[in-house]
């Protein structure tokens, strides 16, 4: 025991390195020689190490603990940062709304009132069934000039109009529905419901609204209307322009700020980067500013809103009571009869009395049976507004029907209904030539929209438009322009067509030239008292049938005419607003100097905010730019516009002190300068082709022209355009 204790003490000292060198050597030799001492030493070593483990473990545990703490601190720190960032973001985003709420309580109240009132109107319109409809408009073609346009603005003093004003289309839409309008030159407008507000009061408009659309896609149209393509001094290339105006009765409307009209221009002219601009008349010229809409939308209308004409539709709408009919044709017939008798019963012919009308009256009505079977979009045209009002009323009374279907899908079915009746009295003068239409129901290709009943007596314009139909067609086939065609013969003709005795075919008359031809089968010729004869140019088949190429349209004059009545257009002549005839007579009157060059060559529309919409793009970096100023001695205040041949652009000029300033234009551009002048009651015109360069030296040789000649000249420019 004693030695052991001594040994341990010795070992301790050795391990702690406190032995002297000799003692250390002694110790080491003893380790080698004394095995007992060695085991004790080894054993003690193990113990010391084991003891050390406890120490190390303690350290390791501490380290581990602090490592984990640190880790958690890091994680929680990061998450706090993230949460903080999110809170910051949240407050930033919603800061604005808080800002609005912070002002004093008065402002808060008004906000609330606003919101309730607006929500009221929305709920109102929500109650109405939402009906999407396409209005296919084709105003009647080929009217020279001045008569068709319908103006709601006739009473507005000093409204200035130009005799060359383009025919516009007037459409009536219901503001409670989303409406899509397809205009005749291809523009498509999509107007959401409740889009209009009163210009003065700013209140929402409910009910029918008249939309007036004028399209300017041709250069001549743009020139005549004195439209230019300039945006804040920058030149634009145009894809076409639209003028849109909305009225309700005599009230001017404007668009609600947050509900713009979607506009698609016909793609023909669309180029990349075209944007919508809205125009404003400033100082005789129009300035375009960019609309907020960034890109033009191509709207695919036909997918969603399909109109299938009544004659074509696979499953016709079913009038109540016609359900029992088995075939589609029978149901159609039943419906036709039911509607006719319904209208006969309800139509109050009494309204036609005392209207100064006599003889045969015809009211053309048009409506649609929508996807839900309701009768919507009622349009009617009559010799007198009273009659069309009555027709609207009666058609509005039609019951709800089962909607028509095409390929199993409910579609809108347009339906045309002519109402004819005779007013006893003085005998009508032009009965003889009036054709009684065979097809009581047909798709309508031309619709003239009636307008609000005139508020005050207005001079009315009557236009007759040629309307080719069966009579002309039969005469074309018969190669006889005076061939007598009566209703009996037309019904016979229809009968022959059903029996396939008359058939249309296409034949190759000359190599690579396909022509339309008619086959008249043998039985037609062999019939008793047949009006069909073999004539020169017929080819006879082996079976004895006739193949005949009909005459072209030009050989058969049109006998049928459609009458349109519209209030007379007013035009500006100096300070007066006059009708077209008056304007023309004053224009022709050499002594009358009140009509200025501007009035004659330009016209100015002081219009609503809807105003002008233009599909344009900025022209940038094309060429070097120059200032273009023109000095013309014999100008006499003529109006001069510059037409760029390479791009669809018309640039107006600002006239000051004998200098026409076109501001900045691209150099070396091929342009046509168009000058229109009115002096001493005469109209002058000249056109100069040139290239843009600095300090141009040009002279106009003004020629005296008539309006018709001027129009023709400008039409000729179209070839440079588009």
Partner 1 sequence: MSDQDILVLFKNGQREKAFKKLYHLYPRIEKLVLSKGGSKDDASDVFQEALIILNRNLETSNFKLTASFYTYLYSVSRFVWSDIQKSLTKQQLQDLNTQEVQVFQEVIEEKKYQLAEHAFLEIGKRCQQLLQLFYHQAMSFKDIANVMQFKSSKIAKNQKYKCLQKAKDIYQTKLKSVQS
Binding site for partner 1 (CB under 8 A): 5, 8, 16, 43, 46-57, 59-60, 62-64, 66-67, 70
| Distance of closest approach, residue 59 Cβ to partner 1, in angstroms | 5
Nearer to partner 1, 14 or 628 (CB): 14
Q: Cα dihedral sign for 367, 369, 371, 373? A: positive
What is the distance between the alpha carbons of residues 157 and 570, in angstroms, rounded to a whole number? 10
3-state secondary structure of 29: helix
| Distance of closest approach, residue 39 Cβ to partner 1, in angstroms | 11
What is the distance between the alpha carbons of residues 602 and 643, in angstroms, rounded to a whole number? 15
Query: What's the burial of 28, exposed, middle or buried (CB within 10 Å: 0-12/13-18/19+)?
Result: exposed
Whether 676 contacts 638, CB under 8 Å:
yes
3-state secondary structure of 108: helix
| Distance of closest approach, residue 44 Cβ to partner 1, in angstroms | 8
What is the distance between the alpha carbons of residues 131 and 177, in angstroms, rounded to a whole number? 6
The separation between the first and the last C-alpha atoms of the chain, rounded to the nearest angstrom, is 124
Distance of CA 434 to the CA centre of its chain: 37
| Distance of closest approach, residue 105 Cβ to partner 1, in angstroms | 59
Nearer to partner 1, 9 or 712 (CB): 9
Angle, helices 385-396 vs 328-346, to 10°: value is 130
| Distance of closest approach, residue 33 Cβ to partner 1, in angstroms | 23
What is the distance between the alpha carbons of residues 381 and 562, in angstroms, rounded to a whole number? 11
Nearer to partner 1, 50 or 457 (CB): 50
Nearer to partner 1, 3 or 499 (CB): 3
| Distance of closest approach, residue 3 Cβ to partner 1, in angstroms | 12
Whether 516 contacts 549, CB under 8 Å:
yes
What is the distance between the alpha carbons of residues 269 and 614, in angstroms, rounded to a whole number? 12
Nearer to partner 1, 8 or 562 (CB): 8
| Distance of closest approach, residue 79 Cβ to partner 1, in angstroms | 19
What is the distance between the alpha carbons of residues 361 and 343, in angstroms, rounded to a whole number? 15
Nearer to partner 1, 16 or 326 (CB): 16
Q: How many residues does the chain have?
A: 722
What is the distance between the alpha carbons of residues 445 and 232, in angstroms, rounded to a whole number? 41
| Distance of closest approach, residue 56 Cβ to partner 1, in angstroms | 5
| Distance of closest approach, residue 54 Cβ to partner 1, in angstroms | 6
Nearer to partner 1, 52 or 304 (CB): 52
Nearer to partner 1, 66 or 445 (CB): 66
Nearer to partner 1, 53 or 400 (CB): 53
User: What is the b/e burial string over 495-533, where b = at least 16 CB atoms within 10 angstroms of the residue's CB?
Assistant: ebeeeebbeeeeeeeeeeeeeebbbbbeebeeeeeeebe
């Amino acid at each position: 025991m004693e030695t052991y204790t001594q040994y341990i003490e010795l070992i301790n000292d050795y391990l702690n390195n406190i032995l002297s060198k000799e003692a250390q050597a002694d110790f080491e030799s003893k380790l080698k020689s004394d095995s007992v001492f060695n085991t004790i030493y080894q054993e003690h070593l193990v113990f010391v190490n084991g003891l050390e483990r406890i120490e190390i473990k303690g350290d390791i545990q501490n380290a581990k603990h602090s490592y984990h703490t640190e880790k958690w601190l890091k994680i929680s720190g990061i998450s706090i940062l993230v949460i903080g960032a999110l809170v910051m973001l949240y407050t930033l985003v919603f800061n604005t709304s808080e800002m609005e709420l912070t002002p004093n309580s008065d402002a808060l109240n008004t906000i609330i009132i606003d919101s309730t009132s607006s929500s009221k109107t929305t709920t109102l319109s929500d109650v109405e069934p939402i009906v999407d409809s396409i209005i296919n408009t084709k105003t009647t073609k080929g009217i020279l000039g001045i008569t068709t346009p319908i103006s709601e603005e006739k009473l507005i003093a000093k409204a200035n109009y130009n005799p060359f004003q383009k025919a516009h289309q007037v459409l009536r839409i219901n503001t409670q529905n989303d409406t899509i309008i397809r205009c005749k030159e291809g523009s498509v407008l999509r107007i959401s419901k409740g889009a209009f507000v009163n210009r003065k009061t700013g209140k929402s408009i409910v009910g029918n609204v008249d939309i007036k659309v004028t399209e300017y896609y041709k250069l001549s149209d743009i020139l005549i209307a004195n439209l230019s393509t300039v945006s804040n001094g920058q030149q634009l290339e145009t894809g076409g322009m639209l003028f849109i105006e909305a009225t309700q009765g005599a009230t001017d409307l404007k668009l609600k700020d947050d509900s713009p009209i979607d506009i698609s221009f016909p793609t023909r002219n669309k180029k990349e980067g075209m944007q919508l601009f809205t125009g404003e008349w400033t100082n005789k010229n129009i300035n375009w500013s960019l609309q907020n809409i960034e890109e033009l939308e191509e709207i695919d209308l036909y997918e969603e809103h399909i109109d299938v004409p009544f004659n074509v539709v696979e499953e016709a709408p079913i009038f109540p009571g016609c359900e029992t009919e088995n075939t589609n044709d029978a149901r159609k017939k039943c419906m036709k009869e039911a509607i006719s008798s319904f209208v006969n019963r309800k139509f109050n012919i009494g309204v036609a009395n005392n209207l100064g009308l006599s003889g045969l009256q015809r009211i053309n009505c048009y409506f649609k049976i929508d996807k839900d079977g309701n009768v919507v979009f009622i349009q009617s045209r009559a010799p007198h507004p009273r009659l069309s009002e009555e027709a609207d009323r009666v058609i509005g009374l039609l019951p709800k029907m089962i909607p028509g279907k095409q390929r199993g899908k409910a579609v809108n079915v347009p339906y045309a209904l002519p109402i004819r009746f005779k007013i006893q009295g003085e005998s009508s003068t032009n009965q003889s030539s009036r054709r009684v239409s065979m097809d009581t129901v047909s798709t309508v290709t031309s619709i003239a929209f009636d307008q609000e009943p005139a508020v005050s007596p207005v001079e009315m314009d009557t236009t007759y438009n040629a309307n080719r139909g069966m009579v002309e067609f039969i005469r074309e086939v018969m190669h006889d322009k005076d061939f007598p065609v009566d209703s009996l013969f037309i019904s016979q003709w229809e009968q022959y067509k059903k029996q396939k005795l008359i058939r249309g075919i296409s034949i190759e008359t000359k190599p690579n030239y396909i022509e339309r031809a008619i086959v008249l089968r043998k039985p037609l010729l062999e019939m008793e008292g047949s009006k069909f004869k073999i004539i020169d140019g017929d080819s006879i088949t082996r079976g004895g049938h006739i193949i005949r190429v009909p005459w072209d349209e030009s050989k058969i004059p049109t006998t049928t005419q459609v009458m349109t009545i519209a209030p007379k257009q007013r035009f500006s002549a100096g300070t007066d607003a006059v009708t077209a005839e008056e304007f023309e007579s004053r224009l022709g009157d050499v002594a009358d100097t009140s009509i200025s060059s501007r009035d004659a060559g330009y016209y100015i529309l002081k219009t609503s905010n809807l105003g002008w919409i233009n599909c344009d793009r900025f022209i940038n970096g094309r060429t070097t730019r120059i200032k273009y100023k023109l000095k013309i001695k014999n100008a006499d205040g003529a109006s001069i516009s510059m037409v760029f041949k390479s791009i669809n652009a018309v640039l107006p000029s600002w006239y000051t002190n004998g200098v026409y300033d076109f501001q900045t234009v691209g150099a070396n551009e091929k342009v046509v300068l168009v000058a229109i002048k009115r002096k001493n009651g005469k109209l002058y015109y000249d056109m100069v082709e040139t290239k843009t360069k600095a300090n141009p030296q040009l002279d106009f040789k003004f020629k005296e022209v008539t309006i018709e000649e001027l129009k023709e000249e400008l039409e000729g420019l179209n070839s440079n355009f588009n």
